[in-house]
Structure 1
Amino acid sequence: MLSRVAERIYWLARYLERIENTARLVSVYDNLLYDLPRGNSISWYNLIVINSGTEQFHERYKVKSERNVVKFLLADDDNYASLMSSIRMLRENVRTSRDVIPSETWELTNELYIYVRENISQGVNRSKRHEFLTHVIESCQMITGLLVGAMARDAGWNFMILGCNIERADMTTRMLDAGTFLAMEPFEESNVNLTQVIWSKVLRSQSAYLTYRRTVRRAIRASNVVNYLLNDEQFPRTFYYCVEQMDRAAKYLPRSASVRTVLKDIKSLKYVIESSQDLTDDFRSYLNELQIDLIKLNEVIVENWFAFKEEDAA
């Protein structure tokens, strides 16, 4: 497979996953608004910090309001990581990859693009945000389902697995960071178990609530949820599972030694939370280190396969 084709498929998968995960991340905070007791509030600006977008945000917005944060994450054309920007990039990568992916992918991607373009204001405004985000998530899942059900398990498929899972692993760390930050917030005393509410929302944002209950078989506690989303070997959105899937895909690709070495190093950083008392700034620093390692992994993937000159293959 030509490196330019492989690169388009890799980024197609990354943008598709990024769109869904951005919608999921905003949804966590949006859903919390309806469950927090009266008198408590949440800092929407933390979503900017979690997404490493503070510098870009401050260049265009003076107020750290809910509306400005959501607009930046969903609708801002100048934010390269916004949902709108990601959909444009997804559409372009699908358009230029139509000869190696199912033909229906182009139609479904266009439908999603048109829906978001025409309804993005619903995502910014609170009243219809849930409906908008749900539609985006379900549309991404339709496209993913098509690709899973109709792509040959060849080199293109393995590059898609790499792209999907590096993006998914990154967002899992950001979801955990969001949950940890919220759990550390000084909320007013209440009869409601706010920690349980927060971590239930994190699980639901990952579609992991029921599988967590079946697998862990314990009450929803911060330490249990964090360990599950980091280390479970069977659920497809846990960090460990994503890294394993990338390693498995890389194994079937040529010249994969350098990529698999980085993946091995990442797997060696396994972290186990003993209690909720361990969810401190040190744990958030650990999550940040994982994100840095994933950036390094992306750089190695690009250097190894996409910056590779075809004539050097001999």
Structure 2
Amino acid sequence: MLSRVVEMIYWTARYLERTENLARLINVNSNLLLDLPKSIAPGWEPLINITGTRESYLEQHDDFNERTVLAYLVNQNNSPSSLAKALSGARESARTIRDVIPRESWEQINALYLYAKDNSNKVFVKSQRFEYLNNIILRCQTLNGLFAGTMNQDEGYSFLLIGRNLERADMTTRIIDVRSADLLADENQSLQPFDLIQWMSVLKSLSAYQMYRRSMQVKINRSAVLKFLFQSEVFPRAPYHCIAKVEFSTMDLPNNEAPLRLIGRVKRDLIDTDVGNLEQEALHEYIDQLQLSFINIGDAFSEQYFLSGNMQHQQQADS
């Protein structure tokens, strides 16, 4: 399969996963603000931090009010991490490989792009926000099922799974990093009831609440939540599970030694680290290192398999 083709499949999957995660984040943050008193509610600023676009946001805006943040995250094409940007990337990537992916998947991606664009103003209306974002989430999940049920399970599909799971692992660590930093101090006894609500929001941001209760069978607490979210072998959004899936999808690819070495290191690090006992600063540093590892894995795939990565590598060699 051509390098250009597998690269477009890979990025189609990453953009669709990014779209779904952004929609989930906005939904959960809206609900969290309804559950917490205004004096301690985190507001909308954490969502900008999760997407890693704080500097870009502050170049364009002076505050973090609800409407400004939502516009930046939903329908601003000049935002590097908006729904509009991600869906535009998914649509353009899929358009160039329409003869490779199932026709129905291209039609669904195009329909999702048009729906999100034509109805984006609904996100500013609280009574319509959930329906709008939930439709985007369900359409992304439909696409995942469509690919699984109708796409040849060949090298192209392997790169689809690699892109989806790398993006998912990265976004999970971002959500945990920012959400846990926003949580209330454990020693503040008067605010402890709200601490439970916030840890529930961490789980719900990842649609992990019910699976946590089923797997851990303990009340919600920091240590157990972190252990489940980072190290679960069965929860689909846990980084360990995601990286294990990336490893499995890489096994049958040719010339896979470099990516597999990096993947193996990350897997060992994830399972060996006692994340539940890390203090907040140490947790933040650990997550930073994980995110750098995910970037390195993505770069390894790019250099080994993608046309853009090969061209960049050749340019560096020539210089």
With normalisation by structure 2, the TM-score equals: 0.90
Superposed displacement of residue 212, structure 1: 1.3
1:244 equivalent in structure 2: 244
Q: Is the counterpart of residue 288 in structure 1 residue 288 in structure 2?
A: yes
Report SS of the residue matched to 1:236. coil
1:200 equivalent in structure 2: 200
Q: Provide the C-alpha distance between the structure 2 equivalents of 1:56 and 1:186, rounded to a whole number of angstroms.
A: 33
Q: Is the 8 A contact 2:95 2:106 kept in 1?
A: yes
1:273 equivalent in structure 2: 275
Report the count of equivalent residues. 308
Change (3 A) 1:187 1:60: farther
Q: Provide the C-alpha distance between the structure 2 equivalents of 1:264 and 1:216, rounded to a whole number of angstroms.
A: 26
Q: Provide the C-alpha distance between the structure 2 equivalents of 1:296 and 1:216, rounded to a whole number of angstroms.
A: 32
Question: What residue ranges of structure 1 are gaps of 5+ in the alignment?
Answer: none
In structure 1, give the amino acid aligned to 2:155.
A
Q: List aligned pairs for 1:1-314, cutoff 5 A.
A: 1-37=1-37, 39-184=39-184, 193-270=193-270, 271-275=273-277, 278-306=278-306, 307-308=309-310
Q: Provide the C-alpha distance between the structure 2 equivalents of 1:49 and 1:74, rounded to a whole number of angstroms.
A: 15
Change (3 A) 1:38 1:89: closer
Q: Provide the C-alpha distance between the structure 2 equivalents of 1:85 and 1:238, rounded to a whole number of angstroms.
A: 25
In the TM superposition, what whole-angstrom CA distance separates every residue of 1:56-102 from its partner, at most 9, and x where no partner exists?
11111112222222221222110122110110111111112222211
Question: What residue ranges of structure 2 are gaps of 5+ in the alignment?
Answer: 315-319
In structure 1, give the amino acid aligned to 2:254.
P
Q: Is the 8 A contact 2:50 2:178 kept in 1?
A: yes
Change (3 A) 1:145 1:279: farther
Superposed displacement of residue 124, structure 1: 3.7
Q: Is the 8 A contact 1:50 1:174 kept in 2?
A: yes
Superposed displacement of residue 160, structure 1: 0.5
Return the structure number with greater helix share.
2
The alignment's C-alpha RMSD in Å is 2.1
Q: Provide the C-alpha distance between the structure 2 equivalents of 1:35 and 1:195, rounded to a whole number of angstroms.
A: 11
The range that moved more, 201-210 or 288-297, is: 201-210
Q: Provide the C-alpha distance between the structure 1 equivalents of 2:175 and 2:292, rounded to a whole number of angstroms.
A: 16
Segments ≥4 residues shifted beyond 3 Å = 124-127, 184-192
Superposed displacement of residue 205, structure 1: 2.5
Report SS of the residue matched to 1:97. coil
Identity %: 36
Q: Provide the C-alpha distance between the structure 2 equivalents of 1:272 and 1:220, rounded to a whole number of angstroms.
A: 18
Q: Provide the C-alpha distance between the structure 1 equivalents of 2:187 and 2:13, rounded to a whole number of angstroms.
A: 38
Q: Provide the C-alpha distance between the structure 2 equivalents of 1:262 and 1:169, rounded to a whole number of angstroms.
A: 15
Report SS of the residue matched to 1:33. helix
In the TM superposition, what whole-angstrom CA distance separates every residue of 1:182-219 from its partner, at most 9, and x where no partner exists?
21469987577222211222222322222211111111
Superposed displacement of residue 41, structure 1: 2.0
2:317 equivalent in structure 1: none
Q: Provide the C-alpha distance between the structure 1 equivalents of 2:238 and 2:186, rounded to a whole number of angstroms.
A: 28
Q: Provide the C-alpha distance between the structure 2 equivalents of 1:41 and 1:108, rounded to a whole number of angstroms.
A: 37
Report SS of the residue matched to 1:10. helix
Q: Is the 8 A contact 2:186 2:192 kept in 1?
A: no
Change (3 A) 1:189 1:211: same
With normalisation by structure 1, the TM-score equals: 0.92
